[in-house]
Amino acid sequence: MNENLQHSDINNDMMAGVNEIISLNRNKPGASITVLRKCQDVVGYLPVELVGYISRGLNISESELFGIASFYSLFSMKPKGKNVIKICMGTACYVKGIKEVMNRIGNAYGIREGGITDDKRFSIESVRCLGACGLAPVMVVNQDIHGAMSSDKVLDVLEKYH
Protein backbone atom coordinates (compact mmCIF):
# COMPACT_ATOMS: atom_id res chain seq x y z
CA MET A 1 0.00 0.00 0.00
CA ASN A 2 1.34 3.40 -0.85
CA GLU A 3 1.39 6.32 1.52
CA ASN A 4 -2.01 7.81 2.37
CA LEU A 5 -3.17 10.66 0.21
CA GLN A 6 -3.42 14.15 1.71
CA HIS A 7 -6.44 15.96 0.33
CA SER A 8 -8.68 18.61 1.85
CA ASP A 9 -11.87 16.75 0.88
CA ILE A 10 -10.76 13.35 2.16
CA ASN A 11 -10.65 12.72 5.90
CA ASN A 12 -9.02 9.80 7.70
CA ASP A 13 -12.16 7.68 7.81
CA MET A 14 -12.66 8.11 4.08
CA MET A 15 -9.03 7.20 3.48
CA ALA A 16 -9.45 4.01 5.50
CA GLY A 17 -12.55 3.18 3.44
CA VAL A 18 -10.71 3.77 0.19
CA ASN A 19 -7.79 1.60 1.31
CA GLU A 20 -10.11 -1.23 2.23
CA ILE A 21 -11.90 -1.10 -1.14
CA ILE A 22 -8.58 -1.17 -2.95
CA SER A 23 -7.18 -4.08 -0.99
CA LEU A 24 -10.35 -6.14 -1.43
CA ASN A 25 -10.28 -5.72 -5.20
CA ARG A 26 -6.58 -5.56 -5.96
CA ASN A 27 -6.30 -8.90 -7.71
CA LYS A 28 -9.73 -9.09 -9.27
CA PRO A 29 -9.74 -8.78 -13.03
CA GLY A 30 -12.06 -6.06 -14.27
CA ALA A 31 -12.61 -4.47 -10.87
CA SER A 32 -11.61 -0.93 -11.80
CA ILE A 33 -15.14 0.41 -12.38
CA THR A 34 -16.44 -1.17 -9.19
CA VAL A 35 -13.55 0.31 -7.20
CA LEU A 36 -14.08 3.77 -8.66
CA ARG A 37 -17.78 3.61 -7.92
CA LYS A 38 -17.30 2.52 -4.34
CA CYS A 39 -14.58 5.07 -3.69
CA GLN A 40 -16.81 7.79 -5.10
CA ASP A 41 -19.56 6.67 -2.72
CA VAL A 42 -17.13 7.06 0.17
CA VAL A 43 -15.64 10.43 -0.77
CA GLY A 44 -18.56 12.02 -2.61
CA TYR A 45 -16.61 12.57 -5.80
CA LEU A 46 -13.33 11.50 -7.35
CA PRO A 47 -10.59 14.12 -6.95
CA VAL A 48 -7.99 13.67 -9.69
CA GLU A 49 -5.35 12.92 -7.03
CA LEU A 50 -7.52 10.10 -5.74
CA VAL A 51 -7.75 8.54 -9.19
CA GLY A 52 -3.94 8.49 -9.24
CA TYR A 53 -3.84 6.98 -5.76
CA ILE A 54 -6.31 4.23 -6.72
CA SER A 55 -4.36 3.44 -9.90
CA ARG A 56 -1.22 2.84 -7.86
CA GLY A 57 -3.21 0.70 -5.46
CA LEU A 58 -4.68 -1.44 -8.23
CA ASN A 59 -1.38 -1.48 -10.08
CA ILE A 60 -2.76 -0.17 -13.35
CA SER A 61 -1.54 2.91 -15.16
CA GLU A 62 -2.87 6.26 -14.05
CA SER A 63 -3.76 7.22 -17.61
CA GLU A 64 -5.84 4.07 -18.07
CA LEU A 65 -7.79 4.63 -14.87
CA PHE A 66 -8.26 8.30 -15.66
CA GLY A 67 -9.55 7.22 -19.07
CA ILE A 68 -12.13 5.03 -17.38
CA ALA A 69 -13.14 7.65 -14.81
CA SER A 70 -13.65 10.27 -17.50
CA PHE A 71 -15.50 7.90 -19.83
CA TYR A 72 -18.42 7.00 -17.59
CA SER A 73 -20.90 9.68 -16.64
CA LEU A 74 -21.36 8.24 -13.16
CA PHE A 75 -17.94 9.50 -12.15
CA SER A 76 -17.44 13.10 -11.23
CA MET A 77 -14.07 14.67 -10.70
CA LYS A 78 -15.63 17.89 -9.48
CA PRO A 79 -16.94 18.40 -5.95
CA LYS A 80 -20.67 18.30 -5.47
CA GLY A 81 -22.95 20.62 -3.52
CA LYS A 82 -24.55 19.88 -0.18
CA ASN A 83 -27.68 19.02 -2.09
CA VAL A 84 -27.35 17.34 -5.43
CA ILE A 85 -30.07 18.09 -7.94
CA LYS A 86 -30.41 15.55 -10.71
CA ILE A 87 -32.56 16.47 -13.65
CA CYS A 88 -33.85 13.57 -15.71
CA MET A 89 -33.10 14.13 -19.37
CA GLY A 90 -35.15 11.24 -20.67
CA THR A 91 -37.44 11.70 -23.64
CA ALA A 92 -40.65 11.60 -21.64
CA CYS A 93 -39.36 14.26 -19.27
CA TYR A 94 -38.18 16.33 -22.21
CA VAL A 95 -41.53 16.15 -23.97
CA LYS A 96 -43.21 17.22 -20.76
CA GLY A 97 -41.02 20.25 -20.23
CA ILE A 98 -37.91 19.37 -18.20
CA LYS A 99 -35.88 21.90 -20.17
CA GLU A 100 -38.04 24.71 -18.82
CA VAL A 101 -37.63 23.35 -15.29
CA MET A 102 -33.87 23.28 -15.74
CA ASN A 103 -33.84 26.87 -17.05
CA ARG A 104 -35.91 28.02 -14.13
CA ILE A 105 -33.48 26.54 -11.62
CA GLY A 106 -30.58 27.98 -13.56
CA ASN A 107 -32.06 31.46 -13.55
CA ALA A 108 -33.01 31.38 -9.89
CA TYR A 109 -29.73 30.10 -8.48
CA GLY A 110 -27.32 31.24 -11.14
CA ILE A 111 -26.04 27.79 -11.98
CA ARG A 112 -25.72 25.86 -15.16
CA GLU A 113 -25.81 22.17 -15.79
CA GLY A 114 -22.80 20.58 -14.12
CA GLY A 115 -22.29 23.62 -11.90
CA ILE A 116 -22.38 24.33 -8.20
CA THR A 117 -23.73 27.39 -6.38
CA ASP A 118 -21.22 29.75 -4.75
CA ASP A 119 -22.47 28.81 -1.28
CA LYS A 120 -22.17 25.11 -2.24
CA ARG A 121 -25.81 24.61 -1.33
CA PHE A 122 -26.75 23.06 -4.66
CA SER A 123 -25.04 21.37 -7.51
CA ILE A 124 -27.02 20.46 -10.55
CA GLU A 125 -26.47 17.72 -13.07
CA SER A 126 -28.54 16.19 -15.82
CA VAL A 127 -28.89 12.44 -15.73
CA ARG A 128 -29.99 9.85 -18.22
CA CYS A 129 -33.50 8.46 -18.13
CA LEU A 130 -34.32 7.23 -14.63
CA GLY A 131 -37.07 5.00 -15.96
CA ALA A 132 -39.70 6.77 -13.90
CA CYS A 133 -41.43 8.14 -17.00
CA GLY A 134 -44.84 7.84 -15.37
CA LEU A 135 -43.84 10.75 -13.16
CA ALA A 136 -42.34 12.94 -15.87
CA PRO A 137 -40.85 15.49 -15.62
CA VAL A 138 -38.68 14.09 -12.84
CA MET A 139 -36.15 15.79 -10.59
CA VAL A 140 -34.16 13.98 -7.92
CA VAL A 141 -32.74 15.93 -5.00
CA ASN A 142 -30.30 13.83 -3.01
CA GLN A 143 -32.37 10.64 -2.63
CA ASP A 144 -35.84 12.19 -3.00
CA ILE A 145 -37.68 11.76 -6.26
CA HIS A 146 -39.96 14.63 -7.21
CA GLY A 147 -42.33 13.86 -10.04
CA ALA A 148 -44.57 16.05 -12.20
CA MET A 149 -42.22 19.03 -11.84
CA SER A 150 -42.99 22.29 -13.58
CA SER A 151 -41.20 25.57 -13.84
CA ASP A 152 -43.61 27.22 -11.42
CA LYS A 153 -43.41 24.47 -8.77
CA VAL A 154 -39.74 23.63 -8.79
CA LEU A 155 -38.45 26.50 -6.66
CA ASP A 156 -40.91 25.77 -3.85
CA VAL A 157 -39.56 22.24 -3.72
CA LEU A 158 -35.92 23.33 -3.73
CA GLU A 159 -36.44 25.95 -1.02
CA LYS A 160 -36.91 23.10 1.45
CA TYR A 161 -33.32 21.97 1.00
CA HIS A 162 -30.73 23.89 2.98
Partner 1 sequence: MNKIRTQLMLCGGTGCHSTGSLAVKEALNSELKRRGLHEETQVIETGCNGFCAVGPVMLVHPEGIFYQKLTLDEIPKLVEEHFLKGRPYKKLQYVEPASKETIPIMNDIPFFAHQMFWVMRNKGIIDPEVIDEYIARDGYFGAAKALKELTPDQIIEEVKTSCIRGRGGAGFPTGLKWQFAKASPGDVKYVLCNADEGDPGAFMDRSVLEADPHSVLEGMIIAAKAINSHQGFIYVRTEYPLAIKRLEIAIKQAREYGLLGKDILGSGFDFDIEIYQGAGAFVCGEETALMRSIEGKRGMPRPRPPFPAHKGLWDKPSVLNNVETLANIAQIIVNGGKWYASVGTETSKGTKVFALSGAVNNIGLVEVPMGTTLRSIIFDIGGGIPKKRKFKAVQLGGPSGGCVPEQYLDTPVDYEAIAKVGAIMGSGGAIVMDENSCMVDMARFFMDFIQDESCGKCTPCREGTRRILEILNKICDGKGEPEDIESLKHLSYIIKDSALCGLGQTGPNPVLSTLRYFIDEYNAHIYEKRCPAKRCVALLKFEIDPEICTKCGLCFKSCPTGAIEWKKKEVARIDKSKCVQCLTCFDRCRFGSIF
Residue among 18, 22, 36, 87 that touches partner 1 (CB under 8 A): 36
Which of 5, 68 has the CB closer to partner 1? 68
Give residues with Cβ within 8 angstroms of 3, minimum separation 6. Answer: none
Which residues from 88-127 bind partner 1, rule CB under 8 A? Answer: 89-92, 94-97, 100, 103-104, 107, 127
Cα separation, 115 vs 111, in Å, equals 6
Contact 74, 84 (CB under 8 A): no
- Give one DSSP letter per residue of 57-94, joined into a string: HHTS-HHHHHHHHHHSTT--SS---SEEEEEE--HHHH
Q: How far is the CB of 102 from partner 1 (least distance, A)?
A: 10
Residues that bind partner 1 (CB under 8 A): 29-34, 36-37, 64, 67-68, 71-75, 89-92, 94-97, 100, 103-104, 107, 127-136, 138, 145-147, 150-152, 155
